Amino acid sequence: MAGSYRNFQQQKSRGIVMPLTNRACQAAKPKIKSYKMADGEGLYLEVTPAGTKLWRLKYRLHGKEKRISMGAYPTVSIVDARKAKEEIKKEISFGVDPVLKRWQTAQTNALRQQLDFKSMSMEWYDKQVPLWKPKHAAIIKHRFEKYIFPSLGEFPLAEIKPLLMLSCLQKMEKTAPDLTRRMKAMCSHVFKYAIATGRAENDPTYGLEAALKKFKSGHYAAISVDEFPEFLSCLTHYQPHVHRQTFLALRLLLLTFVRTCELVEAQWEEIHFEKAMWVIPAERMKMNLPHMIPLSRQALAIFRELKEMNGEREFIFPGYYHPRKPMSKNTMLVAIKRMGYSGKMTGHGFRSLALGILKEKLGYAHEIADRQLAHVPKSSVDRAYDRALFLPQRIKMMQEYADYIDQVESKRGNED
């Protein structure tokens, strides 16, 4: 081994650079000052006074001589050092500075470690808020804070592996099975945003749906068209037992079949009495599009009565205890339950009921009835080309629908 080291020194003194051998590297002893053992093409082993042996590569870039360290011998073997040298020389040939690249990689990795999931989620959330309705944005934030952040919020993105993500989602399944897959999708959006902005390399939510329980969401409870006469009779007889505003709200829900939140949050500026039209602005609609509701004579009569009751208020249905806020959606649901229709009918059920009556009893095409429900075509192509509002047909339809309700009520009253 000593002879190998002497041969290396003799070749060096004659200006001959021979590739290093393991024996020469192992035999190298420390001296008072650091010294170099060349391997060729800029690669050398530096032996320090402390006996540490460090691989270094000398190179030139943009006319300047630079050096980069490549690890310590024998942890990094001669073969590994030479492979690293070849990779670095390829980068240099493309004008890439290996020292700068290493620094950038270290900074990126440090940033990834410091950036926790909560910070990344809120950064993504702030980007989405302008696209969402305030109410939807508040719901999304609440769900992250309730279900995701307690388990994953403080973890660096790089440390969140599929198993950790799955553990969080399975914990959520126990209390909110209907939301689990939706929150998985939300978390996936966060990771995709992080990948797109260079702060993550993969999405640990990918494929986890296979390990989650399948949740089948049911439809909103709604009575059938055949059950409608009995329900209408029950509503009429229930009138003396409920607050007048609540009763009128139920009647309007029946006559206009809007969503419950669209009704209780309605404001007087949306009602155009002279045109017999209710125009709900886009920001209050689920699909973020304005919606026109032709008002029948019966619906207009109810709005006029409400105008006398609440005309000085901002909301058509002000809260009973907090009149500057709209009435609670649950007010009508409680009334429906007290009528004996718990689990059989909901506020949203009026929409299904109306659709059935319009198609089965009045013979209207699905496209016209569906447009009155403020549904839009599911296909993006259909949405682009089908802009028909069917407004003349809907004006006629809404009056016929209100008249049909009166006929059913009158017939049921005669039978009673």
Q: Is 73 a catalytic residue?
A: no
Q: Is 219 a catalytic residue?
A: no
Contact residues for 384 (Cβ-Cβ < 8 A; gap 6+):
none
Q: Is 321 a catalytic residue?
A: no
Q: Is 348 a catalytic residue?
A: yes
Q: Is 385 a catalytic residue?
A: yes
Catalytic residue among 348, 371, 394, 401: 348
Give the residues across from 40 on adjacent strands: 43
Catalytic residue among 85, 251, 259, 291: 259
Catalytic residue among 213, 324, 378, 385: 385
Catalytic residue among 133, 192, 286, 359: 286
Distance set, CA 305 to CA 30, 164, 277, 311, 318 (Å):
101, 58, 16, 9, 14
Q: Is 182 a catalytic residue?
A: no
Contact residues for 347 (Cβ-Cβ < 8 A; gap 6+):
253, 259, 260, 329, 332, 333, 336
Catalytic residue among 66, 375, 396, 412: 375
Give the total residue count for the chain: 416
Catalytic residue among 351, 364, 371, 401: 351
Residues tagged active-site: 259, 286, 348, 351, 375, 385
